[in-house]
């Protein structure tokens, strides 16, 4: 029985390679991807916010990325887009910055975060959250 003890944890970890296995919600995306990857890279923490983009707290990060207050519906006077265009990952600057590519897939800068770019499965989860409307749950 002891020789089989590694099987369940291994199977659980194997499932993490698929973005569909995780929730495409802002709470999850911020806590599991944005917070650890973007603020731990010393780029977008409150102390070292590059370009003034602090992504440490959930509501502030949402406001910066989406361009509206977390929990409020989109209004006509809101800006057309910040880094995220709700409903369209294809038109969201955040996705291009995470991939380090332009709209045609050509490399134009280092992928983010620069010290350890996000795995493709995590970028796919961010894209799914955006395509689903980029709601702040």
Global pTM value: 0.79
- Classify residue 1: in a domain, yes or no: no
As a whole number, mean pLDDT of residues 107-133 equals 91
pLDDT digits (tens, 9 = 90+) for 53-64: 888 899 999 998
- Classify residue 51: in a domain, yes or no: yes
- Classify residue 124: in a domain, yes or no: yes
Distance CA 73, CA 84 (A): 15
Q: Find the domain containing 30 and state its range.
A: 23-131
- Classify residue 6: in a domain, yes or no: no
- Classify residue 89: in a domain, yes or no: yes
- Classify residue 12: in a domain, yes or no: no
With a CB cutoff of 8 Å and minimum separation 6, the contacts of 56 are: 35, 39, 44, 45, 46
Distance CA 135, CA 29 (A): 11
- Classify residue 70: in a domain, yes or no: yes
The secondary structure of residue 107, as a DSSP letter, is B
- Whether 136 contacts 67, CB under 8 Å: no
pLDDT digits (tens, 9 = 90+) for 38-54: 887 668 877 776 667 88
- Classify residue 16: in a domain, yes or no: no
Q: Which residue has the higher pLDDT, 4 or 57?
A: 57
Total of domains in the chain: 1
């Amino acid at each position: 029985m002891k020789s089989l003890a590694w099987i369940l944890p291994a199977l659980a970890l194997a499932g993490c390679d698929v973005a569909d296995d995780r929730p495409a919600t802002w709470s999850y995306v911020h806590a599991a991807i944005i917070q650890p990857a973007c603020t731990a890279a010393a780029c977008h923490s409150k102390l070292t916010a590059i370009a003034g983009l602090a992504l440490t707290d959930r509501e502030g990060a949402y406001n910066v990325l989406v361009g509206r207050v977390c929990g409020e519906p989109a209004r006509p006077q809101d800006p057309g887009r910040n880094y995220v265009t709700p409903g369209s990952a294809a038109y969201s600057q955040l996705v291009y910055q995470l991939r380090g590519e332009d709209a045609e897939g050509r490399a134009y800068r280092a992928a983010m975060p620069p010290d350890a770019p996000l795995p493709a499965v995590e970028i796919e989860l961010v894209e799914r959250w955006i395509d689903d409307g980029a709601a702040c749950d």
